[in-house]
Structures are given as C-alpha cells and as structure tokens.
Structure 1
Amino acid sequence: MISLATRRFFRAEFPARTDRAFAVRRMLTAFLKYWKLDQAVDSAVLATNELFANAVEHGSSGPDDTVTVTVGVEPAGDELRIEVADGSPVPPVFRAAAETEECGRGLAIVDGLASAWGTDPPDGDGAGKKVWFTLALDRAR
C-alpha cells in the first residue's frame, strides 16, 4: 500500500473521441485500485466519464483535439481531485434536463456525486478550461 504521506498523482491525454471513454474509465479504475481507493471507484469513474463526454462533445472541435485527465490525492489522503481539461474556453452549463430528454444530465450527475466541483483556467497560457470535482475519502483505509 502507498503511504498516506505520499502525494499520489497522474495525468493522461486522450484523443477527443467518444470511443476513448472506455480507456479513461479503465485507466482511472486501475490507478484508484492500485492506490487502495476502491471505495471511490464507482463515483469517480461515473463523474469522470460524464466530464470526459462533455469535453468531447462540447469542448473540442474534432478528433484531432485532446482531453487531459488529471487525478490527485494530497498527502492528507482525505480528498480525491479529478480534472478534465479541454481546449474550449466556454464554461459548462448546469441545466435541468426534462424527463423526455436523452442528454443534459452530466453536470447534475457530477454535482450529485462530488463533494464539490467547478472550473479553472487551463494550465499555462493555452486556451481552454479545466472542469474539476472532488470526492471525500475515508481516511481509515
């Protein structure tokens, strides 16, 4: 098991394509299980999947764009933070989807699962944004 005194962090870049969502989910699941954060897997994977889908659909101009997923746990070990970055500066819009709509619930799902969520400017001087969420972790792992 990795010491709680160690900052755990990884970042991966994916093509902005819907068929890459499986790779995002698989990678996130593998890292969280390796870090012994099994209790966070379901919520983290579902929320990340929603943000990845939004980044592909609304935050990219095509399959040549990329989406970056960053996952981190600070040494205190009480919070998991996941960021999904895309090339669009347009912030996400939280909306209430009608019962008959087949889409439009992504941010509502993230809001329901996460301790907190929001947006930040991109790293560096590039265009785009980061949409992030946090999940509280049980410290008695």
Structure 2
Amino acid sequence: MDIQVKTFDQLTKVEMYDMLALRSEVFVVEQHCAYQDIDFKDQKALHLLGKKDGRLVAYTRVFNANDYFDKASIGRVLVRDLYREHGYGHKILKASIEAIYSYFKEQPIILSAQQHLEKFYNLHGFIAIGQGYLEDGIPHIKMIKDRS
C-alpha cells in the first residue's frame, strides 16, 4: 500500500469523492451509524490516502493542535473491509503519527478511539485517559500518545 499525504486543496475531485465514499461506507453503512461526516473540518486537516493498485483502501485525517482539539490529533481512521487482514491499519496509523511529527512537530497526539480498538492503539503507544463515552451511539475512549 502506498500512502500519500495531502492538504484539502491538494486533493483531486476523484480523491475527495473516493475519500467521502469510503468514510460513508465504513462509518455510516458498515457501522450502522447515522452521523454528520461532512463536518467542515476537512479543510484544516492533512489527509492520508492509502492506495493499493490505485484503489483507496485506507484513510486518516490529522490535525495540528487547536485545529480540532487542543493537541495534535488523528481521526477518521479506517481500512476498507476486504483489506483489513493485511496490516494496513497499522501502516496508515504509523504514517499518521509520522505526518504529525513531520508537518506539525507536535506532541502529544490525541484521538477518540472506538473502545473495541483500544488494544490496536495501545500497540502504537496510545494510552486511554478518562472514562469511556458514547460518540454517535458507539462506545469510545479518549487516548493520548506522548512522543517517545
């Protein structure tokens, strides 16, 4: 899988369409969660596009401190269903962490993780903080990673 990092303005129309379609496929259809995905935050984000043979198969968006949260953050982490057994989730998350350090020089990094993925994020140095909560009807936990 090849990963590209792009600003909102660098995304082509096709990439934007593919990105929004994949986010809807995973978060709305697959997870049965009706929520407002188009939140007007994409314009401030860096978008990481993971492509395999030209097809978008993994995605995240990352933010500098104070563009979403008070710390740098990662969100919309996903891998297309048929590609989840290839370790692409680990690869796109690692690239997201590296992008934050490279573009923003920020530490620590926070994210709002679906609770069933807490161990996945633990493998990348994220630690749960606070109590779990419901976000769009799905159990989540806030997690933080210090640069080390």
Q: What TM-score do you get using the length of structure 1 for normalisation? A: 0.29
User: Larger strand proportion, structure 1 or 2?
Assistant: 2
User: Larger helix proportion, structure 1 or 2?
Assistant: 2
Q: What TM-score do you get using the length of structure 2 for normalisation? A: 0.28
